[in-house]
Amino acid sequence: MFHFSKYHGLGNDFLMVDARADETAAAMDQLTAERIQRLCDRRFGVGADGVILALPPQVGGDVRMRIFNADGSEPEMCGNGIRCLARFLADSDGDGPGQRWQVETLAGRIVPELLDDGTIRVDMGAPFLRPESIPTTLEPGPAGLPQGSLEVAGMTLQVAAAGMGNPHVVIPVDDVEAVDLEGLGAALEVHPAFPARTNVHFVQVLTPSHLRMRVWERGAGPTLACGTGACATLVACRLLGLSATEARVDLPGGPLSIAWDGDPASPVWMSGPAVGVFDGLVTPELWGEDPVGSDSETDSLDGAVAARPSAAAADPVEAMAVDCATVCVNGCIRPDACPSAEARARAMALLERSSLDDLLTLASDSLESRTRARFVGGG
């Protein structure tokens, strides 16, 4: 069963999955783009801007993070998401203020830290300012970052581009509320000036230390907040001479605090909240069965992973420790080779002596006790 925890950073929301156990990590290659779209669908699924996996580290970090947008695409980094990851790990492992995590991402090593007031401060790394590193076809301009004018939906927009591992285009405007976000956001996301598509940010400078943004995200559309976007926007505004080195950045979902000293080699610092909302289990119907050896192996997210070492990795149900009490409520799923025959016998005995109401109470009690342990007790 796919167990997730719902978290958000200023309304930018994610399904968090603890896949730090090797067998669960192996099973995650069944998380196909199509399944992510289903999970993130706000009507037919759970609903989220994306899915975030906490995975075993590969290059000496504390944990590896993979993020998937609601459309199933895999970006390099996420700002609100890494704060949610820090909060999720702290809630799961019982960590307190001062805890820092060396997180491996496709954008390099990122370091969130839990602060006394419960917010998370993140060393987001240095910005990407060379066109090929963003990537963009815009040439570097006088402000020291790629900039220029782009024709979009019949308008000529003055834009600047910066990367935080993922691409961002920043458009200073007089009034963000007056912007046609749906029209311009969607068009700019796929503009040829951005070969890997891009996140789109309209920014209004209220004062040099107070900015206001609206966001259209690559692979997610309009969102209430974008952490990497707020960082890229402060960097662009600083280089364009529109902002100070530190600013409060207001997003539709709330404010972030962003700081950057203007030196291209210096890290950008982001501080803000992250909140746990609920835990859940996804039904087999929503997860969707995929017989072993089916095509889904080829459309799994990471082809390289498809070439698995052992049969166990080919069957996520086999690879995961089966908790008959929650998984086999409708009868044992692997009667031929139940990985825990003893558990199966207990499950069968439980079924024989319990009414449906008892079983439903049991299932909800177990979910509630786990959620309470994580959100209240920690660990």
- The catalytic residues are 78, 226
Q: Does 78 bind ligand ZDP (CB under 6 A)?
A: yes
Exposed / middle / buried, residue 352 (Cβ in 10 Å: 0-12, 13-18, 19+): exposed
Q: Decide if 18 contacts 66 (C-beta within 8 A).
A: no
CB of 50 to ligand ZDP, least distance (A): 6
Q: Which of residues 253-312 bind ligand ZDP (CB under 6 A)?
A: none
Nearer Cβ to ligand ZDP, position 228 or 300? 228
What amino acid is encoded at 112 in this protein? P
Please name which of 67, 70, 36 lies closest in space to residue 223, comparing C-alpha atoms: 70
Nearer Cβ to ligand ZDP, position 227 or 255? 227
How many residues form the binding site for ligand ZDP (CB under 6 A)? Answer: 18
Please name which of 11, 4, 53 lies closest in space to residue 301, comparing C-alpha atoms: 53
Q: Decide if 237 contacts 205 (C-beta within 8 A).
A: yes
**What tokens were used for 16?**
């968090």
Alpha-carbon torsion, ordered 183, 185, 191, 195, to 10 deg = -150
Nearer Cβ to ligand ZDP, position 150 or 270? 270
Nearer Cβ to ligand ZDP, position 78 or 301? 78
Q: Does 81 bind ligand ZDP (CB under 6 A)?
A: yes
Please name which of 357, 305, 302 lies closest in space to residue 329, comparing C-alpha atoms: 357
User: Which residue among 5, 32, 166, 233 contacts ligand ZDP (CB under 6 A)?
Assistant: 166
- Which among 17-25, 79-87, 180-188, 269-277 is the span making contact with ligand ZDP, rule CB under 6 A? 79-87
User: Which residue among 80, 136, 147, 300 contacts ligand ZDP (CB under 6 A)?
Assistant: 80
- Which among 77-85, 114-122, 254-262, 285-293 is the span making contact with ligand ZDP, rule CB under 6 A? 77-85
Q: Does 79 bind ligand ZDP (CB under 6 A)?
A: yes
**Per-residue burial over 304-318, b = 16 or more CB atoms within 10 Å of its CB, e = otherwise:** eeeeeeeeebbbbbb
Residue nearest to ligand ZDP (CB): 78
Q: Does 199 bind ligand ZDP (CB under 6 A)?
A: yes
CB of 251 to ligand ZDP, least distance (A): 10
Q: Give the three-state DSSP class for 115.
A: coil
Nearer Cβ to ligand ZDP, position 151 or 302? 302
User: Which residue among 6, 7, 12, 145 contacts ligand ZDP (CB under 6 A)?
Assistant: 12
Contact string (CB under 6 A) for ligand ZDP, positions 200-229, x = contact: -----------------xxxx--x--xxxx
Q: Widest CA span of the chain, in angstroms?
A: 77
DSSP 7-74: EEETTEEEEEEE--SHHHHHHGGG--HHHHHHHH-TTTS---SEEEEEE--SSSSSEEEEEEETTS--
CB of 282 to ligand ZDP, least distance (A): 21
Exposed / middle / buried, residue 162 (Cβ in 10 Å: 0-12, 13-18, 19+): buried
CB of 213 to ligand ZDP, least distance (A): 12
Pairing of strands 50-55, 12-18: parallel
Binding-site ranges for ligand ZDP (CB under 6 A): 12, 69, 75, 78-81, 166, 199, 217-220, 223, 226-229
